[in-house]
Structure formats: structure tokens, C-alpha cells
Amino acid sequence: MGMTIAEKILARASGRKQVSPGEIVEGSIDVAMTHDIEGPMVVEGLRELGTKKVWDPSKIVVVFDHQVPANSIDAALNHVMLREFAIEQKIPDFYDVFEGICHAVLPEKGFALPGRLIVGTDSHTTTYGAFGCFATGIGSTDMVAVFTRGELWFRVPESVRMTIEGRLPKRVMSKDLILKIIGEVGADGETYRSVEFVGAGMRNINMAGRMTMCNMGVEMGAKAAIVPPDGLTTRYLRGRARGSYKPVYTDRDAAYVEERSFDVKKLEPQVARPYSVDNVGPVSEVEGIEIDQAFLGSCTNGRFEDLVEAAKIVNGRKISKRVRMLVVPASREVYLKALERGILAIFARAGALVEAPSCAACMGGHVGILAPGEVCISASNRNFRGRMGSPKGKIYLASPTTVAASALKGKITDPRDL
């Protein structure tokens, strides 16, 4: 019986020839990531368990990204705690407040490699699947077990195949595609499963776009979201990859529990209305809704390619007076590149606030908090009640181009109209 990419990776990591969905396996972890929100909980857990030394510092990555620089004494204390831990444990890949969002940093620094088994204390760890690895989010207690023993139990997930055909129309982005998919399958449509995005259409979507899609895999409940590696993957990894890697591919006779296909040729920009990510419709259904804030950033859509697409729309124009637009590059690498190419200047000239790399408004724990009744159009991944501040605030999720167009007009706007 053939295996899918997910099954092959879990088989390799658990030292087996064959695994099948439903089996429980103990996998050895190739990379384990934690950040400034869950990290302190992991440190507490390690203390409780009595772990003096982590299993392998070279396989651990620590990133400060959620509240950087610290915006409260509590946040500063959490940073101190985790910083001391990283130094004491001699973790070489510790990125303090300057590097960016974990899900941008790990791929940039070459940790997300084909065939690897990666865990992170963050649900959007699924992002790395864009590189053909099995990457999934876990809680802090599971991470205590990983930091201590280097292994974790997994239930081998069923696999789902989503075949993408066609090329995205102008100003329509992979964000629109993933929103469309989530709208169709539902917020729990793929719970516990591993979703593979395949097909000729995926070959036309760059690595940034693939990361956006895998990032939001978790918004349909998926345990992992995977794109089979190809030439684009290899090109991205050249000069970045940390060590060697061996891509794995699904066997011809592997089993999927579900198959779907999406043709993107005629896809319209999509928007997810409050308060759930699967409350999706074409932008025409929400056009004209007035907004107070526009957020371009996050681990979903804060990459260079996202900023470029949005800047094409903003260039030479002014952001509506009633809107505050926040532009937050996902990482220092993105920030520098956008700075050097004049992209940040386009936003600043238009009246946007350009912030240093961080999660920023995405989680309502740092900048860009909403007041009751306020509306935000956001390129991030969640529109839950209270996610960005007041539970009475409203978040509409959209692509970077839709966010940019809406910021200019002061209301939700179809980016194809500009």
C-alpha cells in the first residue's frame, strides 16, 4: 500500500516501514519551535518536570514575535524568562525581538525543509508544510515532552487531496483561494487530517503564496497542510537550507479520504466576515462596509510579495482619512528588502503606519487594538470575537490587495476596481 507525504514522514520519523491513518506512532522531532507567548509556559513545565537540559539545543528555535518590543511589564518579564532559558540552554537559534514572526523566520532561516517533522507551540506551524514537510502546532506541555525527550506521539492523520487548477486572475491572491476553500469545507471540515495542495495550479503559486495557504490550513482544522516540493521550493531553499534534505512524494496508490478540486481561473476576491473564518463570500457581498482600520501583516500575509502586491495599488494614492492603515512586514528580511526597494516609502507616503516586524494587530496583544464597534479589514488569519481587542469589534479577513484597496476607499472595496 502506498503512502502519502504525511505518512512517509511520520513513518521515517518513527523508524517504521509503513504507517496507516489512525495508528499512534512516536516520532523523533527534527525541529521544535517556541515563541514568547507559549515559551514561558514551556520553561515552567520543564522546571516542574525537573528537566535540567534540553534534548538537543541545535534542534530548538526560539523566536520573540508576539509582543515585541515588550509592551507591558508582564511581557518584558516573559522575555527575560525565555531569554535566560535560551542562553542557559545554549540554544544557537534564538531570535530575540528583532527578527520577526516565527512563521516567516523559520522558512527564511532554512529550518522548513522537505521531509522534516516539525512541531511548534503555535497553531500556524502548518505554514512550513509549504516546503513539503510535516509541521504541526502543539501545546506547551507537549513541547515540554519534546524538549525533554525529542519525541512526541502522533496519531497518523488521514490525508486529503485538494487539486488546484488554473492561474489566479490579476489582483486575486492565494489568500482568496484558501478563504474560498475554508468557506467550502468549513472551520472544522478537515479536523485531524493532513491536506495536500497539488495540481498544475499550485505550480503557478509562489512560495509566499503557498505559505499563506498552508498557514491557514489550521483554520479548517487540519493537522498539517502540505505542498509537494518542486523547482520553486529548491530555488527558495538555495543558500538557506540548514543541512541536507530529501523530498518525499505521495505514492501513486496512496489513499485519500477525500478529494476536491478548485479551478482558480475565475476566482473572485474573497472575504471572511466576523466571527468565523469559514463565513466566506465574494467581496461583492460586503463591498461598501465602512472600515476604521486596515491591517497588512501577520504570518499569513506579511511577506515581501504581499507588500509588493498591495503597494501596486497604494502607489501614488492616499489612504482614506477615516482609516488607519498598519503595515507590518513579517520579518526583518522582508522589512529590509521592502525598505531598500522603496515599498515601505509608498505606504508611508500614502499615510500608513509602518511598524517593526511582529505579530502586531493580529492577536490583539500589541498594537492596533480595536474599540467596541470598530471595523478592521485584515490580511491576517482569524476574525474571532475579541481577537483584535474589543469583543464588539469586527474583523473582515481578506487578501493584501483587498486590504489595500479598502484602505484607500475607507470601505471594503474590490481590488480589481482600482
Partner 1 sequence: MTCAWVFGDNVDTDQIIAGRYLVKLDPHELAKHVMEAADPKFASKVRKGDVIIAGRNFGCGSSRERAPLALKTAGISAIVAKSFARIFYRNAINRGLPVLTCAGVRRGFKTGDKVRVDMLGGKVHNLSTGGTFKVEPLPDFILTILRAGGLLPYLKRSVGKAGR
- Which spans of this chain sit near ligand SF4 (rule: CB under 6 A)? 66, 101, 103, 122, 124, 298-299, 359, 362-363, 380-381
* CA dist., res. 290 & res. 412, Å (int): 6
Q: Is residue 289 exposed (0-12), middle (13-18) or buried (19+ Cβ within 10 Å)?
A: middle
Q: 23 is in the binding site of which of ligand SF4, partner 1, none (Cβ under 5 to 8 A by kind)?
A: none
Closest distance to ligand SF4 from the beta carbon of 39 (Å): 13
Q: 233 is in the binding site of which of partner 1, ligand SF4, none (Cβ under 5 to 8 A by kind)?
A: none
According to the binding rule CB under 8 A, does residue 223 interact with partner 1? Answer: yes
* CA dist., res. 121 & res. 229, Å (int): 24
387-396 long-range Cβ contacts below 8 angstroms, 24+ apart: 387/362, 387/363, 388/295, 388/361, 388/362, 388/363, 388/364, 389/364, 394/274, 394/275, 394/370, 395/274, 395/275, 395/370, 396/271, 396/272, 396/273, 396/274, 396/286, 396/289, 396/291
Cell (9 digits) for 364: 490583539
* CA dist., res. 142 & res. 145, Å (int): 5
Q: 50 is in the binding site of which of partner 1, ligand SF4, none (Cβ under 5 to 8 A by kind)?
A: partner 1
Closest distance to partner 1 from the beta carbon of 377 (Å): 18
* CA dist., res. 395 & res. 363, Å (int): 11
* Of residues 121 and 320, the one with the C-beta less far from partner 1: 121
According to the binding rule CB under 8 A, does residue 272 interact with partner 1? Answer: no
Decide: helix, strand or coil at residue 138. coil
Kindly identify the residues of this chain, within the stretch 367-396, that bind partner 1 according to CB under 8 A: 369, 382, 384-387, 389, 391
Binding residue count for partner 1, defined by CB under 8 A: 51
Q: 386 is in the binding site of which of partner 1, ligand SF4, none (Cβ under 5 to 8 A by kind)?
A: partner 1
Closest distance to partner 1 from the beta carbon of 402 (Å): 22
Binding site for partner 1 (CB under 8 A): 37-38, 40-41, 44-45, 48-53, 66-67, 72, 74-75, 78, 120-123, 125, 137-142, 144-145, 148-149, 187-188, 191-192, 221, 223, 276, 363-365, 369, 382, 384-387, 389, 391
